[in-house]
Amino acid sequence: MSRFFSGKYDKLVPYTPGEQPRILNLVKLNTNECPFPPSEKALQYAGEHTRPLNLYSDIEGVEVRRALAELCGLRPENLILGNGSDEILNFAFMAFCDEAHPAAFPDISYGFYPVFADLNRIPYTEIPLRTGFRVAPEDYYGLGRTIFIANPNAPTGLALTRAEAEEIVKRNPGNVVVIDEAYVDFGGESCIPLVEKYENLLVVQTFSKSRSMAGARLGFAAGSAALIRDLNTIKFSTNPYNVNSMTLALGLGVLMDEETTRKNCRTVMENRAYTVRELESLGFEVLPSAANFLFVRSDRIGGGELYEKLRARAVLVRHFDKERIKDYNRITVGTREQMDILLKNIREILEDMP
Ligand code: PMP
């Protein structure tokens, strides 16, 4: 830290993103990206429709919001775009949390929530997950706090039903409830249909997972027009041109090819079911996942050891050192070929165990 770094960040521990190493022929299953690139159709559209790059990008992302509004059954006023959904989550912490409205989220969830809270000096409570890593909706009723819930949750993959999430929103009428649906397209139930019913509901989604755009950075939030206006106040006070023109064009291209998105999600879900069966036959405990990743452990090998041994074989999964989950690894579901390489290596590692 330089002697110039503000003391207000004394205690800030930044988020640790999954590694992006340059290992030859790496099977990368550590950051829940989509294994398929954007479709040719989407890329071609982006190539032909990117606004001239000497001009600023469309500050309101009008066309993407219009297309999303149609997809979500909402109006463009209910939507805001972000430079990835991380940016929108940060905007939500800035807009809807303070000393009087502290934050609350599960103790095992997306690791960025406590970082955003600390960055913005917002007090927060971490609510312990119940047995089996379950988010118990009743733990969130009438909390008097701004609530952040990843649904499906990360890194567990477990999902609440829409009815369970709705009950949390309904029982916190005086506070904003943010439902982070980064992984919803792989089998979860979206709360977007509830947006018009609850003025305190904000649903955040991303183009990084099901829409193959992690590197292009595009996320969005859906909420009442009033909540979206608040987020826009933050956006226009930090970075009005937060989404660049290439990303806007690609986002529109991807939205015009929903068929490919649906097909890719179906393939990932099939590969997920296949990988679950194979891992279970090897004695792994696999949490029921509604996401594009699996959270797994085995009595035959520790979480850290499996992670290291896979890494040495150029297969990268995600391991968290946190006490309650250190026996586990989070494995992104990729192509069938990637899953077969993963499984082959796990079999060999287990065979080599004493
Ligand atoms: N929410 C959750 C639960 C995530 O796992 C991620 C991906 N790390 C994000 C939000 C942010 O994704 P992005 O910024 O790429 O939209």
- Are 97 and 146 in contact by the 8 Å Cβ rule? The answer is yes
Equal fold, 19-36+259-351 vs 40-256: no
The answer to whether the CB of 252 is under 6 A from ligand 1 is no
pLDDT tens per residue, range 160-213 = 999 999 999 999 999 999 999 999 999 999 999 999 999 999 999 999 999 999
Residues in the chain where the model's pLDDT stays below 70: none
Strands 315-316, 124-127: pairing kind:
unpaired
Ligand 1 center–CA 210 separation, angstroms? 12
Would you state the pLDDT for residue 203? 98
Would you state the pLDDT for residue 349? 98
CATH superfamily of 19-36+259-351: Aspartate Aminotransferase, domain 1 (3.90.1150.10)
Residue with the two structure tokens 């002697």: 3
Domain ranges across the chain: 19-36+259-351, 40-256
The answer to whether the CB of 152 is under 6 A from ligand 1 is no
Q: pTM for the whole thing? A: 0.97
Atom of ligand 1 nearest to the CA of 209: 15
Would you state the pLDDT for residue 19? 85
Would you state the pLDDT for residue 24? 84
Q: Which residues pair with 103 in a beta bridge?
A: 124, 146
* Rounded Cα–Cα distance for residues 203 and 192 (Å): 6
Would you state the pLDDT for residue 238? 97
Range 40-256 has CATH code 3.30.390.30: no
Ligand 1 center–CA 79 separation, angstroms? 18
Ligand 1 center–CA 208 separation, angstroms? 7
* Rounded Cα–Cα distance for residues 37 and 53 (Å): 23
Ligand 1 center–CA 148 separation, angstroms? 13
Residue 75: count of CB within 10 angstroms of its CB: 14
Atom of ligand 1 nearest to the CA of 180: 1
Give the DSSP per-residue string, 272-327.
Answer: HHHHHHHHHHTT-EE---SSSEEEEEBTTB-HHHHHHHHHHTTEE-B----GGGTT
